């Protein structure tokens, strides 16, 4: 039974007139987020790499929400060229974005690289979204919410500037944790810069706990077996993708979600349960690392954010 102060998707405020962009929207958390925003009346851009899956996702949503305003836009976060093409199309369209949900994420069991030569976890999870958000700033400034989806794995992460691309040492857990720590640090630093430079953004971080999604890519047989064993165990403690989407939906829609806040499940080990305020780990609060990560991210993506009031 729902407790009196417990937030659920039934509490999503009407989103009519809102224009939302969701990355990784063709499946998993991104699909569930897009579905609920559409149900609440928002116009939703489903951004994903695979056009067929994206169009199928739209068909599925329309079955539940006839007449929903939905658009598929191709976006490959592993390619800065694709990010630029995507943002150029949205800027040409010219509609102010109410909510940007940086949801897409991967975890590779073996080291992969993006088309720009970045280690894939970092390149897709952090650098792609860093470039995307920066390029969309003209459509975001003045009140948009930016939701950055991270992971509880961030507390085990470390930003290793001496081996940022995991060329010397790659471990699937450590490399993924670094990318998700980068997500959280990006959210915190973007909110700080928004306040300092007048971007007018509400930046909120969220994590899904453990949600049953297709996250691990390109596993070797041995790693896949271990992953399946871990997933079997975690599945008993975790939750569905639909439930895993709740923290991001809370961050995107609730008047109670605070700029600079961080939200996730409040149940056992924060793997599942009702949405609650999450604790920002100490490793995400190092301002020197955060500032350097921002600088390095600008250099790698060649996306420079304005440093004067806009």
* Residue 216 confidence class, pLDDT cut points 50, 70, 90: very low
3-state helix, strand, coil in the chain (%, to 5): 45, 15, 40
> Which residues are known catalytic residues?
176
3-state secondary structure of 264: strand
Q: Helices 28-39 and 246-253: crossing angle, nearest 10°?
A: 40
Q: What CA–CA distance (Å, rounded) separates 192 from 275?
A: 24
Q: What is the pLDDT of residues 10-54, one digit of tens each?
A: 999 999 999 999 999 999 999 999 999 999 999 999 999 999 999
Strand spans (E) along 168-267: 202-206, 216-217, 262-265
Mean pLDDT of the chain: 91
Residue 129 confidence (pLDDT): 99
Question: 14-301 in CATH: which number?
Answer: 3.40.50.720
- Phi, psi (rounded to 5 degrees) for 276: -145, 165
Residue 304 confidence (pLDDT): 97
Show me where the domains of the chain are located.
Answer: 14-301
Across 141-155, 185-199, 227-241, least confident range = 227-241
Only one residue has tokens 């199928």, namely: 56
Q: What is the pLDDT of residues 124-183, one digit of tens each?
A: 999 999 999 999 999 999 899 999 999 999 999 999 999 999 999 999 999 999 999 999
């Amino acid at each position: 039974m729902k407790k009196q102060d417990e937030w659920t998707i039934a509490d999503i405020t009407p989103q009519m007139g809102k224009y939302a962009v969701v990355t990784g929207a063709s499946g998993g958390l991104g699909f569930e987020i897009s579905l609920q925003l559409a149900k609440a009346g928002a116009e939703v851009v489903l951004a994903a790499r695979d056009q067929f899956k994206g169009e199928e996702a739209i068909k599925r949503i329309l079955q539940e929400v006839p007449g929903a305003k939905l658009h598929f836009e191709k976006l490959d976060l592993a390619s800065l060229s694709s990010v630029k093409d995507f943002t150029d199309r949205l800027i040409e369209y010219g509609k102010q974005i109410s909510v940007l949900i940086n949801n897409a994420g991967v975890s590779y069991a073996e080291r992969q690289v993006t088309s720009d030569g970045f280690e894939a976890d970092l390149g897709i999870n952090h650098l792609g979204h860093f470039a995307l958000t920066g390029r969309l700033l003209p459509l975001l400034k003045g009140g948009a919410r930016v939701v950055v989806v991270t992971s509880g794995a961030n507390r085990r992460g470390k930003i290793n500037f001496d081996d940022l691309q995991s060329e010397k040492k790659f471990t699937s857990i450590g490399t993924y944790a670094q990318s998700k720590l980068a997500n959280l640090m990006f959210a915190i630093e973007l909110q700080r810069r928004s306040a300092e430079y007048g971007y007018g953004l509400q930046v909120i971080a969220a994590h899904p706990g453990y949600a049953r999604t297709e996250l691990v890519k390109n596993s070797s047989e041995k790693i896949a077996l271990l992953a399946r064993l871990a997933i079997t165990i975690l599945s008993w403690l975790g939750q569905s993708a639909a439930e895993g989407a709740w923290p991001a939906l809370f961050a995107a829609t609730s008047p109670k979600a605070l700029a600079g806040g961080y939200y996730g499940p409040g149940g056992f080990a924060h793997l599942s349960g009702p949405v609650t305020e999450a604790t920002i780990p100490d490793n995400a609060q190092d301002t020197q690392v955060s500032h350097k990560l921002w600088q390095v991210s600008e250099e790698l993506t060649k996306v420079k954010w304005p440093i004067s009031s806009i």
